[in-house]
Amino acid sequence: MDTGYLLEVLGLLGRWLHVIVAIAWIGSSFYFVWLDDSLEPVTDPAAKARGVYGQIWSVHGGGFYNAQKYPLGPPELPASLHWFYWESYSTFLSGFFLLCVLYYAQAPALLADPGLWKATPAQSIALSLAVLAGGWVVYDVLCRLLRKRSQLLFGVVYLAFVLAVAWGLLQVFPGRAAYLHVGAMMAATMSANVFFWIIPGQRKVVAALRAGLPPDPVHGQRGKQRSVHNNYITLPVLFCMISNHYAFTYGSKHAWVILALILVAAVAIRHFFNLRHKGRLAWQYPGGAIALLVVAFTIARPAGLQAGSTAPTLTQVRPVLEARCVPCHAEQPRLIPAPPLGVMLDTEAHIRANATRVVQQAGYAQAMPMGNVTGITEAERQLLRDWAAGGYR
């Protein structure tokens, strides 16, 4: 079987699985944060005597549900106790599989950029793995140092660390890969929280209860801290995972600033909903998020023609496309089995139909050609940008 086709199939199946299990994890995570923030005080003396901290009645799917929270466990543990962890583990494992298929197996094309960092594929992969592991180590150290301090202080320090990593990765990886790795680093940290802290802490509480001993409340406190962090990190991770579709973000010369604004906006949106669950409405957060996004997309907007320049025509642009793009983007490409995403540039009709995508990917984002296999020059990329600024004549 052709290697390129096999990677496409594995990428499709891996991405599908990753989305399915990620939905399950995010859904359960968001639900329990909502549940915890929406609990109402218990008035029933019998429930209080059993150690119930709060409860909420809800209706869904034709049935009524009464959820109750026991901070330190009920007087007697039920025989069947449902755990939530495979959603997290499956998301991490499927995401790492995708990273291997899409980036490690194609490192020369997707991780390498000779204009940024002259590294071997092995060195690029090693850096990628170091970012995933190092991101967790730094986060965990910050949690330990700032556990009893303001969570706002922790958020500011951790955001500064994430943005420092983003800036550094943009110096060595193509923008698309840099954004993806920032998201993968945060996602790996979320799963590590579940694996190293939340689930082990819950197991210790359950073991103490089954042994008839009072559980140490520190396990619940630590688990809650990490769970809340995961809640705020989720939306930034989701943006990084879909950012590869929007070259004007990671392809901008201000890519790390754009990422910073979007990540802060995502946290503000999540904070608004967390406050709303508690019965508080603070509209400055969604308003601030919109303002940040407007600024981010304004910064990302492509520049126009330089003063005194004449916009090139398709006649001038087409030789560049023939030399740099058509080897892959044709009905019968020379370098690969099939044109990526079905984009073909071997006729005038095909070029005009895909003109915007061509300029975004090859002119601004510089994501294409992959690994610059056909040797496109900066002057040729500028020609494409000028063609777009002139209205694609």
The DSSP secondary-structure symbol of 305 reads P
Coil/strand/helix, residue 56: strand
Coil/strand/helix, residue 55: strand
Structure tokens at 178: 């840099």
Digit-coded pLDDT (tens) for 299-321: 887 766 665 578 889 888 889 88
Work out the burial of residue 336: count CB atoms within 10 Å of its CB; fewer than 13 is exposed, 13-18 middle, 19 or more buried. Answer: middle
Q: Which helix (H) or strand (E) holds 41?
A: strand 40-41
Classify strands 40-41 and 63-69 as parallel, antiparallel or unpaired: unpaired
Q: Which helix (H) or strand (E) holds 29?
A: helix 3-38
Among 171, 114, 103, 175, residue whose Cα is nearest residue 364: 175
Location of structure tokens 């990329």: 381
- Strands across the sheet with 63-69, in order? 40-41, 54-60, 63-69
Give yes or no for a cis peptide into 369 (omega within 30° of 0): yes
Give the relative orientation of helices 255-277 and 284-300 as an angle to the nearest 10 degrees: 160
Confidence at residue 303, expressed as pLDDT on a 0 to 100 scale:
67
Q: What count of Cα atoms within 13 Å lies in the side-chain half-sphere of residue 255?
A: 31
Please answer whether residues 228 and 271 qualify as being in contact, where contact means their C-beta atoms are separated by less than 8 angstroms: no
pLDDT, mean over the chain: 89
How many percent of the chain have pLDDT more than 90?
51
Among 226, 222, 188, residue whose Cα is nearest residue 204: 222
Give backbone dihedrals phi and psi of 148, rounded to 5 degrees, phi first.
-100, 10
Structure tokens at 339: 């044109």
Please answer whether residues 213 and 219 qualify as being in contact, where contact means their C-beta atoms are separated by less than 8 angstroms: no
Residues 6+ apart with CB under 8 A from 67: 35, 39, 55, 56, 58
Q: Worst-scoring range by mean pLDDT, 4-13, 58-67, 174-183, 302-311?
A: 302-311
Confidence at residue 393, expressed as pLDDT on a 0 to 100 scale:
83
Confidence at residue 342, expressed as pLDDT on a 0 to 100 scale:
82
* 3-state secondary structure labels for all residues of 180-227: HHHHHHHHHHHHHHHHHHHHHHHHHHHHHHHCCCCCCHHHHHHHHHHH
Distance of CA 169 to the CA centre of its chain: 15
Please answer whether residues 111 and 125 qualify as being in contact, where contact means their C-beta atoms are separated by less than 8 angstroms: yes
Read off the pTM: 0.85
Digit-coded pLDDT (tens) for 242-293: 998 888 898 888 999 999 999 999 999 999 999 999 888 888 999 999 999 9
Q: Residue 83's pLDDT band (boundaries 50, 70, 90)?
A: very high
Distance of CA 189 to the CA centre of its chain: 12
Confidence at residue 2, expressed as pLDDT on a 0 to 100 scale:
67
CA-CA distance, 26 to 21, in Å (whole number)?
9
Please answer whether residues 42 and 55 qualify as being in contact, where contact means their C-beta atoms are separated by less than 8 angstroms: yes
Beta-carbon count within 10 A of 283 CB: 8
